[in-house]
A and B are shown apart, each in its own frame.
Chain A
Amino acid sequence: MEYRGVTKSFGDLEVIKGIDLRLHAGEKLAFIGPSGSGKTTLGRMLMTLEQPTTGTLTIDNEPIWQMKDKRGNWKAANEAHLRSIREKVGMVFQHFNLFPHLTVERNVTLALTSVLNLSKEEAIGRAESMLEKVGLLDKLRNYPSQLSGGQKQRVAIARALVMRPKVVVFDEVTSALDPELVGEVLAVIKEIAKEGETAMMLITHEMDFAREVADRVIFGAEGLIVEEGTPEDIFERPQSERLRTFLSRL
């Protein structure tokens, strides 16, 4: 996955001012930085929820927002192309976005049966083993409203991972949680990171978590990448004044 000269403006406001970034298969990348630095927008672009204003985003060397027509000329991606891209990407949202009218089981199996066309039995089997991994097998028949915030987020993680995407965007997944519920969600992500071939883009404010899970940490501010490196580089030997100030304020 690669960002090449990506910018994004909302009206007059330029949120992303030019990002070049590569993410390798299976790599765990943590994105830290002050609010408003455009971290979330970067993740949303990968999930096809936002379109870059300029620059290109590719997955497996295939541009997300462009496609070739029959004559081989580039043109804007259509829905079918975007859907083929989305097969490779998953996302966990800050506010869970579970479907409140469906049970936990149906939340997790819906896309398995209707997008991947699995049989009901296969889908339930995959959902159950995924829910077991996040420790919520006993909540299959419950509705999201009957769960705590931490449990909801774990269901959302299961819902995204059960599709076996190549990369999952975790967009500040603990920011909306009560402090005492943060631990259980992070523990689940760590667990999955350990075993996983799934690449992760972890947009987070949890520094200890980023340090522990990530292969590489990116510090961004005001729409630009300020510094990047291994967790040790970033947290032990920050180079820029910007990053030092940011870390000292935590």
Chain B
Amino acid sequence: MWSWDYAMDVSVILLRALPAALLAAACGFVIASTVGLLIAALIRSRFASVRRVASSVAHFIRSTPLLVQLFFLYYSLPMLVPVSMTAFWTGAIGLGLHYSTYMSEVYRSGIDALPKGQWEAATALNLSKRRTWFSIVLPQAIPPVLPIMGNYLIVIFKETPTLSAITYVELLLRAKNEASVTYRVFEPFTIVGIIFIVCSLMMSLLVARLEKRWGRRPSA
């Protein structure tokens, strides 16, 4: 049933699709980190209406399946507005938006952990809101949550096969295409799994190192 020769051949083919998966995950992660931060900041806005809208949008995105969101972005959205995005960008933006709602919670935990005195000292020094966020709050709130953010990078990477549903050729779709040509299903899918395990493991090692570097910070 298992052919080592075929496994080697198909490994090479599949590994060529790995950069596409990694790139989608990386772009998704960057979008999730940026939009997540924006949501976290809006949820702490002075204006109740802004807070309400931000948290409803976040709640809405988090409560609908990623696959549905991807289908909507890829197939429905172009019918509403005259934009058409490639499968790659649809995938990256879909992943990014979906996980931004989780990432905003990660930021929130970091921001909430900051002592109230830090905000008050910033007020007492008459720092602007922007300056307070960029010079006082974020530099202290983000380092402790970097490991959790790293874990979300792994989660996003593991979610890339979902993009096969909108025709983005990443690992899984490449394996499926191979299988449909050779009629051999055992090797391609097994190897996809192995590639995911190896990549995830390497990423978690990286995250562990981040944790060591940033886990403990001096306090005031």
Contacts and interface: CB of A to CB of B under 8 A. Distances in A.
Interface in B127-153: 127-129, 131, 135-136, 139-140
A79 interface: yes
A89 B217 CA distance: 31
B123 A86 contact: yes
Given A93-B117, A95-B117, A114-B131, A100 B124 contact: no
B124 A49 contact: yes
A144 B117 CA distance: 15
A14 B158 CA distance: 55
B220 A98 contact: yes
A96 B129 CA distance: 21
Contacts of A90: 124-125
A47 B124 contact: yes
A48 interface: yes
Q: Give the bracket for the number of chain A residues in contact with chain B.
A: 20 to 34
Interface in A73-102: 79, 83, 86-87, 89-91, 93, 95-101
Contacts of A91: 120, 124
Nearest to B139: A101
A28 interface: no
B121 A114 contact: no
A114 B123 contact: no
Contacts of A145: 218-220
A39 interface: no
Interface of B: 46, 115, 117-118, 120-121, 123-129, 131, 135-136, 139-140, 217-220
